[in-house]
Structure formats: C-alpha cells, structure tokens
Amino acid sequence: MTTSFYPVLMSTDINAAKKFFIELFHFEVTFTSEWYISLKNEQDFELALIDSSHDTIPDKYKTECKGIILNFEVEDVDSVYAEIKKNDVTILMDIKNEDFGQRHFMIESPDELIIDIIQNIPPSEEFLESYTTEEDRDA
C-alpha cells in the first residue's frame, strides 16, 4: 500500500530552489543535507530537491528537470499573483481566464520549471461536458 507520494526535483542549485519554494509557496524544511532537501507546507504537501550531480542519480539522468509543470491550486489566484509580482520572478504567462475552467498564471522556477498557479473557475458550456462527476467515476 502506498503511504506517500511527492515529486523530487533534480536541481543544479538546490539552495536557490529551496529559497524559491519557501519564499513564494511557504514550504518549510523538514530535512536538509548538502545534496537533498525535503520540504512540506501547512497542508502537508511535500516536495523534495536533489542535486542533479549526486551519486544516487544514474549517470544517464544527471541533468536538470525539463518538461515539467508544477500546478499549485489556490483559493485566490489574484492575491497570489499580486504577491508574486512583488518578487524578482519571471512571469511566463500573465493571469487570465481559460474556457476549460481555470484562472491562472505561470512563472519560472530557478531551474526553469514551469509553475502554474491556478484557481478553478466554472468552465464554459463547451468544456462542461468534459468533466466527470464522482457518480461517473464510480460507475
């Protein structure tokens, strides 16, 4: 039985990545070493960082993470957007509403990952049909 699941991001500078996630997303350090850092926030979401050159990483994979989007769903995306704009953070996509049911914006992490900050909103009629209900999933 699975007891936990969380991403471990390979980084060329785990201290810069740690600072980013602590300052912008209020994570706290639960374990730290020179090559690995575990983070957890007040909702018990976990995230870990590992030095991409560490011996435990097979040689073929000793690289930065690419092609990953980390989604952070929030209650009030506009207030998060206002706070993030006060920081020296690269905004990849300004805040906007999407017909598929999101109000969101995207920023870049120190390791050039895409961070998508999302507030769910009602979808358009076109996309409403794409959503399943709990009843649908139980069938």
Check residue 130 and give its pLDDT: 79
Domains along the chain with CATH numbers: 1-56 (3.30.720.120), 68-131 (3.30.720.110)
pTM for the model: 0.86
Contact predicate 67/52, CB 8 Å: no
User: Beta partners for 6?
Assistant: none
Strand partners, 117: 72, 105
Say what percent of the chain tops pLDDT 90.
Answer: 78
Where residue 137 falls among pLDDT bands split at 50, 70, 90?
A: low
pLDDT tens digit sequence for 17-53: 999 999 999 999 999 999 999 999 999 999 999 999 9
**Beta strands 91-98; 102-108: pairing state:** antiparallel
Neighbour count for residue 90 (Cβ, 10 Å): 11
**Among 16-25, 60-69, 96-105, 116-125, which stretch is predicted with the lowest mean pLDDT?**
60-69
